[in-house]
Amino acid sequence: MITRSQGAENQDEFVQLQLALRENYHPIGISEELLVQRIATCYWRLARVLRFETGETRKRLDNVAVAHSLQKVDEANRSITQLQLWEYQRRCAPNTDENVSMQERFRTLEHLQGALRTSPMGIRYLMSALSATRGEIHEKGSLSEESFEGLMYTFGYCDRSLMDVCIPLTLDKNDEKKERPSELAIEEPKVAQKAAISLLDKRLKFLKFLLGSAEKNQYVELDAKVRSLALPDSKATDRVLRYEAHLERQLYRAMDQLERLQRRRKGESVPPPLNVNLGGDSVFTKQSQ
């Protein structure tokens, strides 16, 4: 029995187990007493197996929530960083991606922008970008070229309608309005501002809805992951099964020996036990009567 340190066991509980087994078997003589003690020891060790299994499972579960949250944050950070790198490359080193086809570029940016809509952190980043765009339009009545490019790298490949409504408000470096798309036919700047702000409000409302769904989905994913880790890993499970099988063989052997001794003491005819050799291991089994 472990009596010290963190894994100390309750000696009173072991004594109570022994007393309960003595009450059940009523041993007489040293041989029967020793067999009852062996049975108690086997039960006690089987309880350790359960504690070991519980400990191994807890090791897998204790940090799963933190690890899962960090994983989601890392995924969102990677998408945000890649988008920012694409934008930086476009502004500062426009010729470095000459080998990247337009189709590859579109596919990559579409994937990154879509990925941001699946995580709470990514959605909050998008909401921040839209809020900044709305604030600039509301305050200045226009959108700088740098802000428009940032919006393009955040939304442009997944939300063309948003880009179309912001194009008429975009100023180039000479503060001259770009030619407006003919299909929009917006004549008055205030009308364009109102249309842009209205659509931005709708997109912010939609992102707020997505945020609630993403937070719920993240909890569901975490719950599923916790459930999938409710068992020890294969190495620990193998140890548990082998040790448990070993203890059960000892337990049943001791119980059978005790029964045979008690029957013999009472004058009953007890046939010899049957020994079966399986792969070099001798397995004791009780002969049927």
List pLDDT tens digits, range 214-259.
Answer: 999 988 988 888 888 888 888 888 999 999 999 999 999 999 999 9
| Residue 75: pLDDT over 60 | yes
The most confident of 71-85, 201-215, 230-244, by mean pLDDT: 201-215
Measure the CA dihedral 153/155/157/158, to 10°: 160
Domain assignments of the chain as residue spans, ordered by start = 11-62+233-285, 76-228
What does each C-alpha distance from 263 to 1, 158, 252, 285 come to in angstroms? 31, 83, 16, 16
Angle between helices 234-265 and 30-61 (to 10 degrees): 160
Phi, psi of 49 (to 5 degrees): -60, -45
Assign 289 a pLDDT band (cuts: 50, 70, 90). Answer: very low
DSSP 169: G
Classify strands 281-285 and 274-278 as parallel, antiparallel or unpaired: antiparallel
| Residue 281: pLDDT over 60 | no
Long-range CB contacts for residues 277-281, cutoff 8 Å, separation at least 24: none
Q: What is the mean pLDDT of residues 249-274?
A: 88
Measured CA to CA, the distance from residue 260 to residue 87 in angstroms comes to 84
pLDDT at 198 (0 to 100):
94
CA angle 116, 122, 123 (to 5 degrees): 95
Token reading at 272: 């010899």
Token reading at 26: 């009523």
List pLDDT tens digits, range 102-160.
Answer: 677 778 888 888 888 888 999 999 999 999 999 999 999 889 888 888 888 888 888 88
Per the CB < 8 A criterion, the answer to whether 163 and 149 are in contact is: no
Averaged pLDDT of the chain: 83
pLDDT at 188 (0 to 100):
64
Q: What is the mean pLDDT of residues 16-30?
A: 95
Kindly report the pTM of this predicted structure. Answer: 0.60
Rg (CA), the chain: 36
List pLDDT tens digits, range 147-192.
Answer: 888 888 888 888 889 989 998 888 654 444 445 554 444 456 788 8
